[in-house]
Amino acid sequence: MKYKRVLLKLSGEALQGDAGYGIKPAVLNDLAEQIRDVRAAGVQVGVVIGGGNIFRGIAGSTAGMDRASADYMGMLATVINALALQDALENRLGVPTRVLTALEIKEVAEPYIRRRAMRHMEKDRVVIFGAGTGNPYFTTDTAAALRAMEIDAEVILKGTQVDGVYSADPKIDPDAVRYERLTYQQVLAENLRVMDPTAIALCMDNRLPIVVFDVNKTGNMAAAVRGEVGTTIVAPEEV
């Protein structure tokens, strides 16, 4: 494996499959199996998961809700997804996990403490981070960048619905060009929407590489850890 400690970023929509809403068990189980296989290869895994399959704060704000309240609701949605992934990993596959949340919900998860998270990973547990950063106005992309740096991850694996970063939406534009490697500056300048600009800036400032890959294809997660698939985003001198 190319990396020994990774932070996997999954959107909430990754859990819904073609259902359009909620959690599709078959999709959840496939993701859990991919995480199990990566861990079995000797890689320490942290996961940040979104909540857009249940509730998206920015959508609630657009509909007239108070933005902070809507964002807190979105954070709680990420905890639901984190618990679902934990159940799939532990009860179905026997993979030890811990859910750590930025909002204190002690009855179902541990509070996020950096040293505790790192200790869990050193003990070969999959650590799932819920509730984003714990602050409104920040996305789970930013939470992923922040947690990755805090736990000394070597890379962010951004699981998406396409096999990398394109110059345009490949589902709409047949002439869209797929990139093998990009710089952080290119992503920001071309507004490629890989992650939100705050997350990209954090990764750029700390030289943390991002690998964007298709998480829907079984086995791709391990291939991404080996550096075989997806688009890699790095500093200019590494392109």
- For residue 163, pLDDT beyond 90: yes
Q: Which two tokens stand for residue 167?
A: 């110059």
Mean pLDDT in residue range 56-82: 90
Closest CA to 157 of 52, 232, 76, 67: 232
Amino acid identity, position 98: R
Neighbours of 197 (CB within 10 A): 14
**pLDDT (tens digit, 9 = 90+) per residue, 19-68?**
888 999 999 999 999 999 999 999 999 999 999 999 987 787 778 899 99
**pLDDT (tens digit, 9 = 90+) per residue, 96-150?**
999 999 999 999 999 999 999 999 999 999 999 999 999 999 999 999 999 999 9
Q: Is 65 helix (H, G, I), strand (E, B) or coil?
A: coil
Pick the range with the lowest mean pLDDT from 39-43, 47-51, 70-74, 167-171.
Answer: 167-171
Domains and CATH numbers, the chain: 5-238 (3.40.1160.10)
CA torsion through residues 99, 102, 108, 110, sign: positive
Give the DSSP letter of residue 179: E
